[in-house]
Amino acid sequence: MSNIEYRPEIDGPVYEALAEFLPVRVFDSHIHTGLPQHIVALSDERKKSKLGFFLDVALEFGCNAYEIAQEVRTTLFPEQMMEGLYFGFPFRETDLDANNAYVAGLIEDHGVQGLYMPRPDSTRDELEHALDAGFIGFKPYLDLVTDKSFAEMRLADYVPPALWEVTNDRGAILLIHLGRPGRLYDRYDIEDLSGACRRHPAAKVIMAHIGRPYIPSMIRDGIPEPYKALPNLWFDVCPICESGVLEVAIREVGPQRLLFATDSPVTYMRGRLGEWNGDRKFFSDMDFPWNTEREPAEKETRYTFFVYEQLLGLKKAAHATRLSSGDVEDILYNNAKALTSEAG
């Protein structure tokens, strides 16, 4: 059902190396979920784009419907108890109402934690209603703004004042993906996000992907001081595989503000996120339209799961920074558990 095939000769030794590192309980704070019928057909152009490819991969894994997510967890992490923070696919091709309703159903039926995907023009009423219905926060996204490119967009275009106010009033979670060209060091994002976090101190803000420094050269100057100074800002680490990046994050903000996350289902692929000609690249053995520059076949056949590569990177970074097992448990479970328990 999930398209996931466990290959004991390749994946077995990797899981063994991870099993000695992983705590019994793991919390994944970034899981996309939905049903294939929530997504309308993608154009070929979108399938190749840096953004649309995500939906194309998701469709390959049945949009990570809840049952698929559970099946993958039991296959990949047979000894761990997994909890998670779920939300839909905040893209233009998604039927947001249906996808949000699906997540509401998971909250109701399975007791999971969930985030609501607002539109840029969602009203206060709609946002409050979502929290009343059991969502513990929001997952806005730049792709839902249709009249500007990512490079032209400011934070307020996709995280408007009403969203900040409701989040702050209710002590909810706001999971923010920064998309500007400067990545972690974009001066407009630093100004906009740190200002908004300070004005809304009860909002629990998670910066997705640590602000997108996917390879070490993208985090050369550490975490910007204005972000480090914010007591209501956390960082999720998906889908970073490079231990050098995670090492810097651990040293700069400490293990109490980092949240383990997978960005499933994209990390169900075999491969990893790594460096290629000085830029970041998703290595994959699958025939997607965007997957044009590939490693030799003999290398691809040895790829293990992307999510295993993430955890190997984290294990290496934890070792290099001499984290205690308690620190590791904080990143992999306690921080997200506490944050989600107190939210909404």
Of 95 and 128, the one with the shorter C-beta distance to Zn ion is 95
Of 86 and 303, the one with the shorter C-beta distance to Zn ion is 86
Cα first-last separation, the chain:
34
Of 32 and 270, the one with the shorter C-beta distance to Zn ion is 32
Of 192 and 263, the one with the shorter C-beta distance to Zn ion is 263
Query: For residues 252 and 222, is the Cβ–Cβ distance under 8 A?
Result: yes
Nearest position to Zn ion, beta carbon: 263
Q: In this structure, what DSSP letter does residue 209 have?
A: G
- d(C-alpha 117, C-alpha 20), whole Å: 36
- State the nearest-atom distance from the C-beta of 8 to Zn ion, in Å: 29
Q: With CB under 5 A as the contact rule, which of the stretches 59-67, 191-199, 257-265, 333-341 interacts with Zn ion?
A: 257-265
- State the nearest-atom distance from the C-beta of 38 to Zn ion, in Å: 15
Tell me the β-bridge partners of 39: 94
How many distinct helices (H) and strands (E) make up the chain? 15, 10
- Long-range contacts of the stretch 145-151 (C-beta < 8 A, 24+): 145/120, 146/92, 150/179, 150/180, 150/181, 151/180, 151/181
Of 252 and 263, the one with the shorter C-beta distance to Zn ion is 263
Q: Out of 263, 309, 327, 330, which residue is the one contacting Zn ion (CB under 5 A)? A: 263
Q: With CB under 5 A as the contact rule, which of the stretches 116-124, 147-155, 161-169, 263-271 interacts with Zn ion?
A: 263-271
- State the nearest-atom distance from the C-beta of 30 to Zn ion, in Å: 6
Q: With CB under 5 A as the contact rule, which of the stretches 106-114, 150-158, 160-168, 255-263 interacts with Zn ion?
A: 255-263
Of 143 and 263, the one with the shorter C-beta distance to Zn ion is 263
Q: With CB under 5 A as the contact rule, which of the stretches 5-13, 246-254, 259-267, 308-316 interacts with Zn ion?
A: 259-267
Peptide bond into 255 cis (omega under 30): no
Q: Report the relative pairing of strands 279-284 and 271-276 from DSSP bridges.
A: antiparallel
- State the nearest-atom distance from the C-beta of 241 to Zn ion, in Å: 15
Q: 250-277 in b/e burial notation, b at 16+ Cβ within 10 A?
A: bebbebebbbbbbbbbbbbbbbbbbbee
Q: With CB under 5 A as the contact rule, which of the stretches 10-18, 37-45, 107-115, 256-264 interacts with Zn ion?
A: 256-264
CA angle 219, 224, 228 (to 5 degrees): 115
252 binds Zn ion (CB under 5 A): no
Taking the CA atoms of residue 188, residue 190, residue 196 and residue 201 in that order, the dihedral angle to the nearest 10 degrees is: 180
| Residue 7 token pair | 């290959």
Q: Distance from CA of residue 170 to its chain's centroid?
A: 23
Query: For residues 70 and 14, is the Cβ–Cβ distance under 8 A?
Result: no
Of 11 and 263, the one with the shorter C-beta distance to Zn ion is 263
Of 163 and 175, the one with the shorter C-beta distance to Zn ion is 175
- State the nearest-atom distance from the C-beta of 31 to Zn ion, in Å: 8
Q: With CB under 5 A as the contact rule, which of the stretches 11-19, 260-268, 279-287, 307-315 interacts with Zn ion?
A: 260-268
User: Could you count the other beta carbons within 10 Å of the beta carbon of residue 76?
Assistant: 22
Query: For residues 333 and 26, is the Cβ–Cβ distance under 8 A?
Result: yes
Per CB under 5 A, contacts with Zn ion among 176-195 are: none
Per CB under 5 A, residues contacting Zn ion are 263
